[in-house]
Amino acid sequence: MAAPVKRTCEDSSDISSKLSTGCKDEKKLETFLTWSKENNLWISPKVCVTKEGSCAQYGMLTTEKVDSGECLFKVPRKLLLHPKTSAISRLLKKEAAALTSDSGWVPLLLALMYEYNNPESTWRPYLDLVPDFRELDLPMFWPENERESLLGTANGILKCVESDIKSLTAEFNTIVLPFVQKHSDVLSPACESLDLYKKMVAFVMAYSFTEPAPDEDQAKEDVPTKSAPMMVPMADILNHVAHNNAELRFEKEFLKMVSTAEIAKGAEVFNTYGMLSNKDELHMYGFSERYPNNDKDTVDIPAAVLKSMAGDLEANQTDKTLLDEKWEFLMEQVRIILFMLSFLLLLIILGLF
């Protein structure tokens, strides 16, 4: 039998004062939890959703000790928000050919824009709980002069953000806007806004999940195949750290959040968004972890810097020709490795590997 879902801060006795005092937006949270319960989203009595004690906006905290391997909540597949579950699924399917893009995100973004602007949306309580997207502080929302502060050490992010903005703007102008205008009987004029589209891109970037490709056994059991991103209510409330203590598992009927370590009473439940360096965290989620917490962190060293450092180190020891030859040899190896990786990727895409 499903345990009651209403797990706000008041539920646990001795940590209740710590958890309940700052429970703002209580109404929105209550509405979301009631909606979750009504839609068969089971949540363990050992956890609660709260803003108090969470590292960013809402978070999930334990109300008693949790052992490794415990199910913390189960989200039924019908509650997932993606193009096939959206109220405009038929339209998106009919027009699928016109909605293809490099990112593959357009159908989901249109579904989100539709649901977000629909007061009667099935996902209204979920969408109402999501913060103003600007609170996410992704570099794509920073003013241009602030983004330039990423030059240098975080140069890679600047390039990624500029490329994101360029491609989302092109996608909007060439695919989304014509589609919205063509179907103005279904999609409201609010969906003609590039600003809203950009917010939805940020929402997908920072909140969506992508189902892993099924292994052969699962494929035989007819588990849905690898899909584009989708929104998973409740799971996306969890924050991320490199040393997470929970992970999302995709099953046939439900998506389950399962603890991967013992979690002390009152501690935050952290999911993993993937093997992310601080650069990835900042680019896609607008935060990064303090040294030395993120053991998945990496640093990009431009090849030109490496060569110039090698030149400095070898000065007076070797002539410049030898350094150039060594450098050309190294670059040749890199080109061969990249060629082999591309070939491997092609085989994987063609299903031959």
**Which residues here bind ligand SAM, judged by CB under 6 A?**
55-59, 131, 136, 206-207, 236-237, 239-241, 285-287
State the minimum distance, in angstroms, from the CB of residue 236 to ligand SAM: 4
State the minimum distance, in angstroms, from the CB of residue 207 to ligand SAM: 5
Question: Residue 56 or 228: which CB sits closer to ligand SAM?
Answer: 56
Question: Residue 199 or 240: which CB sits closer to ligand SAM?
Answer: 240
Question: Residue 62 or 239: which CB sits closer to ligand SAM?
Answer: 239
Question: Residue 115 or 236: which CB sits closer to ligand SAM?
Answer: 236
State the minimum distance, in angstroms, from the CB of residue 140 to ligand SAM: 12
Cα separation, 86 vs 107, in Å, equals 10
Question: Residue 18 or 28: which CB sits closer to ligand SAM?
Answer: 28
Phi, psi dihedrals of residue 143, rounded to the nearest 5°: -60, 150
State the minimum distance, in angstroms, from the CB of residue 28 to ligand SAM: 11
State the minimum distance, in angstroms, from the CB of residue 266 to ligand SAM: 17
Residue 232 sits at the vertex; the CA angle it makes with 230 and 236, to the nearest 5 degrees, is 115
State the minimum distance, in angstroms, from the CB of residue 294 to ligand SAM: 9
Taking a C-beta distance cutoff of 8 angstroms, is the pair 255, 224 a contact? no
Question: Residue 59 or 233: which CB sits closer to ligand SAM?
Answer: 59
Distances in whole angstroms, Cα of residue 60 to Cα of each of 55, 100, 162, 218, 234: 10, 36, 33, 30, 9
Question: Residue 23 or 187: which CB sits closer to ligand SAM?
Answer: 23
State the minimum distance, in angstroms, from the CB of residue 245 to ligand SAM: 13
State the minimum distance, in angstroms, from the CB of residue 56 to ligand SAM: 3
Question: Residue 55 or 347: which CB sits closer to ligand SAM?
Answer: 55
